Structure 1
Amino acid sequence: MDLPFMVTTMTRRGLLTPGQPIRIASQLNALRRWGWSLAGELRQAAARDPGRTAVVDEHGTELTYQELLDRAERMARSLRTAHGVQAGERIGVLCRNHHGLIETIVAATLLGVDAVLVNTGLSAAQLATVAEEQRLRVLVHDDEFTERVLGLPAELPRLDERAREEMVAGALPGELQPPERDGRIIVLTSGTTGTPKGARRPTPNGFGPLVSIIDRIPLHTRDRVMIAAPIFHTWGFAALQVCFALRATIVLHRRFDPAATLAALVAHRCDALFAVPVMVQRLMEVAPPWPRPQLKVVAVSGSALPGGLATRFMDVYGDVLYNLYGSTEVSWASIAGPAELRAAPTTAGRPPRGTLLRILDAEGRQVPDGQVGRIFVGNEMLFEGYTTGASRESRDGLLDTGDLGRLTPDGLLFVDGRADDMIVSGGENVFPSEVENLLAQLPQVREAAVIGVPDPEYGQRLAAFLALHAGETLDPEAVREYVRHYLARFAVPRDVVFVKYLPRNATGKVLARELRRYYG
């Protein structure tokens, strides 16, 4: 990434504004000594803006950047002295969005310890598998998960919320030095098909990754940002990194509730919201407050935007929606801004500066515009492999996303779905996402999912699962006729199943395996 572009972008977003020379010097020194780990980003923010509010959570806790750093350092010292945690080891973090989660992750990176961000939706059996596979030395968890962790080995220390506070309060004095190795963040893949794998996230090596994002998503220094997306997920964690870099004030709630979220956005005068698409969908199901949130940015990622949702949301809250397409493994691939979503509500946008995106066929050859192929991505933040030692297929430095998609002649990306979601029905390739997007536009439909199921005659067929708005009804044949009107014959779902809600994991992704249970 060229220097003039970086300087221009950082100036536009307020990162190069004048300040007290001694604080700027301390800020740069923090980055020089601690690098771009989460610990380094928090240290630079505390050096430049020590009295600025860093975190506000729903229980009234409000911490400045200096206070947050002090608490994280005390936690780090206690992890080392009380539990013997050393650089290179791993701790598990099973927490919802609150200041304790942030303190624990920062404490780990201060010590050069890897933090495994555990999905709060894992079952007790999945949690036990993760604890064993990741070789956890300590598990830090919220009180609500106490029963779920009871079955873990007795020799694994488990620290609940009271224990964490005691560790912060009772930490021995001492100064922390930069560790010999960076503490890695290990994000668990979404686990929609079974026990999730641990993916090692790289540490940024400069301003490049930040600039790539804030060039396309107009966040500014000292914004007030609500992170509704779970921080244990790649998108929520990325939001935390961006907020630290921008010295933003972060607003957190442990659980997402649409009415409470809207109230918090107004009460805290938030400039931005980080969410997953299903949260935006839920916001549209409650009456908007008055006065309405004065949002400048609503940034979503983690799953596809249902058809028509983007324009409906912007009709109410303004042209503030930004959709980032990416994954745990490739970080980001493309970003769609409001103008692109207005023109094409299901587009994934265009790659930001510094990102390469190619659509390749099965032999690795680039396909023509408009033709569906495998999406490969290259950028500064490709993951470092799974903790099992496995990785993903790469070609010429570009990593396979596992998705299928196509590019328009003017460079817009459209994602057709997971490569393993595509079905062959009667010899025809069918993409369930195309049918999902169409069904989501029916006014009676609250949410829709379409999957492939076995069929004795055609090999596979489509099954549509629809959750309707309260008081609404639909006839299965009317649904099929609606699809038949807009799409090819082979895209018409043979089965139409009405459900109260779609099963989702903690990051909002539909659990297809749960839907397949309807078929035994």
Structure 2
Amino acid sequence: MPKGVVLAQRSLFKIRDALAKEGLDWIDWRPGDVSLIGIPGFHVGGIWWAMQGFSAGATNVAMPRFDSGVAVGLIRDLGVTTACMVPSMLRLLLAEPGSGPDDFRTLRKVVYGGSPISETLLAECLETLDCDMAQIYGLTETGNTAVCLPPADHVPGGPRMRAAGRPYPGVQVKIIDSDGSPVPAGTVGEVCLHSPANMLEYWRQPEATARTLVDGWIHTGDAGRLDEDGYVFIQDRIKDLIIVAGENIYPAEIENVLAKHPAVADAAVVGVPDDRFGEAVHAFVALRPGAQAGPRDLLEFLRERIAAFKIPHRFEFVDRVPRNPSGKILRRELRDRLWQGRDRKVN
């Protein structure tokens, strides 16, 4: 192995040991690790995970494209110990016909992020994969991950299962209102990050740079809050906010509750025009194979779990919820048809 790689590997292990002493060994590397790269290389998460593995001297297993059946076989046959995926990949992995806990027995840690994850899916991962889970949150603009929810906080039913995590050492987080002023803990606003790995600029886009990078802070465009202990909770993208009669509704909250219904495989929620209240909540629902559920079933299920004004005005059943390669819901694709002929309130 080249001397530079050896030195880098030793440095990473020293950092790992130092973090472990402080209880911060959230994403660690160990001698003999076999790492599965599930996220595409054109995404910052994919190239970041690949370079992490290379720097640590791990064996990297790269997939040309994600295929859940192939991924299960690679984990089982090559003894994969650690992997990085988005929630939609984890959902496909668990749903792969014929797969089970024995296929994942070599896994010790799975890092996930890129889009919101439902508590139901997270609980299924903890049970079936039977390994440590670590959630990451960040942007290309922050050099990828800036916040992490460590394995110790992955307690089913625990208060932090919905959190994105805590900022890494050297990373700062603040929540601001529409005027740019910081808000108190527990108040929802725009999440801003200050990281040593912040971008310098968007290539030849000075106006976009000025909007995103303000006084050294990256304005993420995400709505979220901080709790008293400094944990970050992401509500949703600000542009995906639905306003019904003056009340703010975040789609991810409703999607998370819908995912708990035993018949629901996936769900997406968007705002649609409403002459009376400005917007109404519209839910797209994909059912599990062979499962049955109608609008009334979902309506009664939600009534016991969320406020009445957040319950969807209409349920539309679809074969699948459209997502991009990073696992993010393509809300614009879902909204376009529903906003035809209207002055758009969202992009």
TM-score normalized with structure 1 length: 0.58
Q: Which residue of 1 aligns with 2:45?
A: 235
Answer whether contact 1:461 1:494 (CA < 8 A) is retained: yes
Q: Which residue of 2 aligns with 1:335?
A: 148
Give the whole-Å Cα distance in 2 for the aligned partners of 1:232 and 1:290. 32
Q: Which residue of 2 aligns with 1:347?
A: 163
Deviations 1:311-350 (A, max 9, x none): 2111112241111011122222311122323223221011
Answer whether contact 1:309 1:345 (CA < 8 A) is retained: no
- Among 229, 245, 252, the alignment partner of 2:55 is 245
- Among 461, 478, 486, the alignment partner of 2:280 is 461
1:432 aligns to 2:248 (yes or no): no
* Matches for 1:226-375 after TM superposition, within 5 Å: 226-286=36-96, 287-288=99-100, 290=102, 292-330=104-142, 331-342=144-155, 343=158, 344-375=160-191
User: What is the Cα-based RMSD across aligned positions, in Å?
Assistant: 2.4
User: Percent identity between the aligned chains?
Assistant: 32
Deviations 1:491-512 (A, max 9, x none): 1110101000011112221111
Answer whether contact 1:448 1:467 (CA < 8 A) is retained: yes
Give the whole-Å Cα distance in 2 for the aligned partners of 1:419 and 1:486. 23
Answer whether contact 1:262 1:288 (CA < 8 A) is retained: no
Give the whole-Å Cα distance in 1 for the aligned partners of 2:19 and 2:320. 37
Secondary structure at 1:442's aligned position in 2? coil
Q: Which consecutive residues of structure 2, in runs of 5 or more, have no partner in the other structure? A: 341-347
Residue 289 of structure 1, CA deviation = 5.7
- Among 35, 45, 64, the alignment partner of 2:5 is 45
* Matches for 1:138-149 after TM superposition, within 5 Å: none
Answer whether contact 2:194 2:218 (CA < 8 A) is retained: yes
Answer whether contact 2:101 2:130 (CA < 8 A) is retained: no
Secondary structure at 2:134's aligned position in 1? strand
Secondary structure at 2:281's aligned position in 1? strand
Q: Which residue of 2 aligns with 1:381?
A: 197
Give the whole-Å Cα distance in 2 for the aligned partners of 1:208 and 1:234. 23
Secondary structure at 1:429's aligned position in 2? strand
| Structure of larger gyration radius | 1
Q: Which consecutive residues of structure 1, in runs of 5 or more, have no partner in the other structure? A: 1-22, 28-43, 50-206
Paired amino acid for 2:288:
H
Give the whole-Å Cα distance in 1 for the aligned partners of 2:122 and 2:336. 31
* Matches for 1:30-429 after TM superposition, within 5 Å: 44-45=4-5, 215-286=25-96, 287-288=99-100, 290=102, 292-330=104-142, 331-342=144-155, 343=158, 344-389=160-205, 390-391=208-209, 392-429=211-248
Secondary structure at 1:329's aligned position in 2? helix
Secondary structure at 1:322's aligned position in 2? strand
Answer whether contact 2:255 2:267 (CA < 8 A) is retained: yes
Give the whole-Å Cα distance in 1 for the aligned partners of 2:150 and 2:124. 15
Give the whole-Å Cα distance in 2 for the aligned partners of 1:289 and 1:407. 35
Residue 263 of structure 1, CA deviation = 1.4
Residue 364 of structure 1, CA deviation = 2.4
Which segment is superposed worse, 256-265 or 369-378? 256-265
Answer whether contact 2:241 2:251 (CA < 8 A) is retained: yes
